[in-house]
Amino acid sequence: MSKIRKVVLAYSGGLDTSVILKWLQDVYGCEIVTFTADIGQGEEVAPARRKAKLLGVRQIFVEDLREEFVREFVFPMFRANAVYEGEYLLGTSIARPLIAKHLVEIARRTGADAISHGATGKGNDQVRFELGAYALMPEVNIIAPWREWDLLSREKLLAYAEEHGIPVDYRKKKGAAPYSMDANLLHISYEGGVLEDPEYEPEESMWRITVSPEKAPRRPEYVELTYERGDIVAVNGRRLTPAKALAELNRLGGKHGVGRLDLVENRYVGMKSRGCYETPGGTIMLRAHRAIESITLDREALALKDDLMPRYARLIYNGYWFSPERRLLQTLIDASQEHVNGVVRVKLYKGTVMTVGRSSKRDSLFDPAISTFEDDKGAYNQADAAGFIRLNALRMRIAARLKRR
């Protein structure tokens, strides 16, 4: 590999990426450009700028990507009702292609010949960052320090930081959290540390954005969501931008203990991993979107989407957001949403989300005149069902006769 001149580092300002910044300077002797993305992680990103400057970085990019994140990544994913392995709403997975996209854009803007990230060699994120980067910039060099260095423990990282004068939050030194966290506007994930024992029940204090269902309000709360072409455009009648709509649903869901998940999942690299997740707004979105589709989508169109959903979800989980197959699936999914317009009402109560109403003035396929159990005045001829059933039973009747012989 030719000598690396300039690297764009995905920089959070935390212990790992601050050590990576200094390590890149020492080992590669190259110029570092930092990129910090605000995707709603709930922490101020300005300190990352100050710390990068303190460590000698001249080109520092801090960008507010919350609206782009929800509009261009979260919403398209929820049009597909994507769920990985039946439970996980892909909160970390969907953020990585956005970060990869901006790493590449900044690399081009600054003339950098490499990008770097803080993902470990055991996890999924290294795959997601790098597949995204290669799809958008095939010639890019990628430096993943966790696959190169020997700083493979928190103690070694802290020692390196102290040796090189890298400022570290005192709470990090004291080890305040016995697990690692990743947050964005869609969710918070918790992994590692004490959670590596799948029998261990996490302490209540771990959860950050949801109350315990036992301590949630004793009265339910109703929330009304307005949809246009499969996307939420208003909450309780108030039109909101995508990011603000998700933030409001997080607030409402969190208040009622909605969206907690404790899961053992299968990582793309081959191992099983235990993670805990908080996705209050996303949990509401999934239930409500399926409800509006239930009255606006044709039966077979809905069945086709459900057949394709697990594959679509795996593509996102495994890092193939920019792949031709995901783009192709997205075209189909987006086309299916043309008539997914209307209003859904859900009830939040002690960790649950229940759909209690759905309507679409223009696009509802639900016809009460046909569906009624009362006299339908000839809208549906019940006698037609006999021939329908006999035709569908024909292959089974033939097989049964053969078996008797």
Q: How is 123-158 classified by DSSP, letter by letter?
A: SSHHHHHHHHHHHH-TT-EEE-GGGT-S--SHHHHH
- Contacts (Cβ under 8 Å, ≥6 apart) of 283: 89, 253, 258, 259, 353
Instruction: In whole angstroms, give the CA distance from residue 347 to residue 330.
Output: 30
Range(s) within the chain of domains with CATH label 3.90.1260.10? 183-297+339-359
What are residue 353's phi and psi, to 5 degrees? -125, 120
- Predicted model pTM: 0.95
Place of tokens 């010949």: 113
Identify the three-state secondary structure at position 224: strand
Residues catalogued as catalytic: 16, 96, 125, 180
pLDDT at residue number 179: 80
Query: Which parts of the chain sit beneath pLDDT 50?
Result: 1, 170-171
pLDDT tens for each residue of 89-103? 999 999 999 999 999
Polymer length of the chain: 405
What are residue 288's phi and psi, to 5 degrees? -70, -35
Range(s) within the chain of domains with CATH label 3.40.50.620? 6-65+93-176
Q: Answer for the pair 364, 295: CB distance below 8 angstroms, yes or no.
A: yes
pLDDT at residue number 283: 98
pLDDT tens for each residue of 102-144? 999 999 999 999 999 999 999 999 999 999 999 999 999 999 9
6-65+93-176 maps to CATH 3.90.245.10 = no
Instruction: Report the amino acid identity of residue 100.
Output: A
pLDDT at residue number 170: 46
* Helices 125-136 & 96-110 angle (0-180, nearest 10): 50
* Whole-number average pLDDT of the chain: 95
CATH fold of 183-297+339-359 reads Argininosuccinate synthetase, chain A, domain 2 (3.90.1260)
